[in-house]
Amino acid sequence: MPSSAYSRNSQPRWLFPFVAIVIVVLSVLPLARLTVTGIASALKGDAGRLLADPALWDATLNTLTTSFLGLVAAAILGGSFAVLLTLFDVRGRNALGFLFMLPMMIPPQVTALSWIGLTGPSSTLLKAIGMAPPLGSPQPLYSIGGIALLFGVQHAPLVYLAMRAGLLALPKEGVEAARLSGASSWRVLIDIVLPLATPGLVAGAAIAFVSGIGNFGIPAILGIPASIYTLPTLIYSKFASFGPTTFSDISIISALITLLALVGLSVEARVLRGRDFRAIGHSGQVALFTLSRHRLAVEVLLWGLTCVILVLPFLALLASSLAPAYGVPLTVETATLHAYEEVLLRQSVTQTAFANSLTLALATALGLLLISVLLGYYIVQTRSRLAGVVGALAEIPYALPGIVLAVAFILLFAAPLPVLGVSIYGTVWIILIAYLSSFLAVSLKPVVSAYRQLDPSLEEAARLAGADFSRRMRDVMVPMIAPAAGSSVILVFLIACNELTISALLWSAGTQTLGVASYNLDDSGSFNLAAALSVLVVLLVVVLMLSLELMARRLPVGALPWRR
């Protein structure tokens, strides 16, 4: 290839236009369209009309209440697991950590369905063991408290990850110095370790709060039947009853959701501002405390909690899927695989959902693989501030609540494409583009980490030997980052295959995904079919996570969120 095809830093001249197009289409345009629509709606007076609607403020209060209570539950649960599994001599900590991370990877609507099957008078599992409440008793999860509880279960791994990262960075010398001064293990934990772990706890709690604000699956399953609406489910209800002011209303509500998320993050920054948590010493070493005679009791407690938040709900989901109908007692005589036959062999909707989800997830994972390899190379190799801007813009869509991103793409593609005159609204293509935008950061992070661990002299030697860009990528760079790229493919496939929040607004007839299908089955009263579909989704999640775990030793640090 002639030298004119390359820039001065040996990158091909087409690389920057490629990067620019990707960032503009997947980040800049949808966010700009959402912003413009929101401003235009406010100028037309639609904001005043919407702000006068009591339903908006009821949904806002419900959103803040459930998110805050969920934050508290997630902080207690995730913080406790982080401290005990990181600092103490608990046996089986790797298995416990892996299992504790599963709720974060399981779709929220599946979490809600599993807990519905575990509680209430119609619970198949409770009926099978003779512990079901009397018929006519209320379902306790159809409440603000029920939504907040499942927010805590779903988002506790976020607190666990953030706090554990801080605990792993504690200086071992500080702990040893305190012990030599005569401080007890309890005093060291209270006066030294936990104060230094505060940033991780606060950061994790803030992320849990923001995740609760944007969560759609749990409030949709638990809240809508009880007429308890949060802002994401209010957007869904307004979109379902489409009218002349729908676009302006959902753009304003999306702006409110984004504002609440930013407030949550700013509170985190304010709490930590002015407090110096820096530690001096060798980090990355775990300051291990011994539980001595209390170890067995703590291990029983940890495994018991894991059983309650993971195993029992899954068993309830499994029992519901094997019963002939929701609420029918499960016995050897009544157990049947009818629900699995329906969702796999007879129901055209679920068959379409399987095909759509697997196709979309695979297309998203492979498409982002190509984008991430080139985008990651540009971010790491470009010596300019522009690379930082590109990296930040790539992460913004993932940081936004999924419902907000879906609204942005609806507004962007509601009209036919300019020049082409073709509309992708209501097709599978709009879901694919929204997935590419939402999960770009997930795919990019491990690839960028792998690029940064490579010795620059490897590529430089290939360049001096006369290898052009494609040859250097094919023979040098790609083989070196292959493990990280492979993990990003599996991770994106895992998340995209079970996604609900984005596709809940973007789907139409024939483009249902697994998340949409499970929600619609439950909404139509076919709980046993929804349970069977959810069991299959959980098994898919476990298989993919175990595949990533087997690859863990070949991956760069930080590629897998649940590993050190």
* SS3 readout for 326-364: CCCCCCCCCCCCHHHHHHHHHCHHHHHHHHHHHHHHHHH
What is the per-residue pLDDT across 241-273, written as a single tens digit (0 to 9) for each? Answer: 877 777 888 888 888 888 888 887 777 667 666
pLDDT band at 404 (very low <50, low <70, confident <90, very high): confident
Residue 317 Cα distances to 98, 353, 411, angstroms: 21, 20, 37
Of the pLDDT bands very low, low, confident and very high (cuts 50, 70, 90), residue 362 is very high
pLDDT tens, residue by residue, 364-387: 999 999 999 999 898 888 877 788
- Is the Cβ–Cβ distance between 240 and 227 less than 8 Å? no
* Number of neighbouring beta carbons within 10 Å of residue 371: 21
Is 90 exceeded by the pLDDT of residue 287? no
Q: pLDDT confidence of 478, banded at 50, 70, 90? A: confident
pLDDT at 285 over 60: no
Please name the amino acid found at residue 392.
Answer: A
Higher-confidence position of 266 and 176: 266
Region 284-290 average pLDDT: 60
pLDDT confidence of residue 280:
47
- Average pLDDT of the chain is 83
CA 157 to chain centre: 10
Instruction: Identify whether the C-beta of residue 411 lies closer than 8 Å to the C-beta of residue 40.
Output: no
Q: How confident is the model at residue 151 (pLDDT cuts 50, 70, 90)?
A: very high
The string of pLDDT tens digits covering residues 515-526 is 888 888 888 888
Half-sphere exposure of 103 (CA within 13 A, CB side): 35
Please state at what angle helix 198-214 crosses helix 144-168, rounded to 10 degrees: 150
pTM of the model: 0.84
pLDDT digits (tens, 9 = 90+) for 328-354: 778 888 888 998 998 898 888 889 999
Does residue 240 carry a pLDDT above 50? yes
560 pLDDT tier (thresholds 50, 70, 90): low
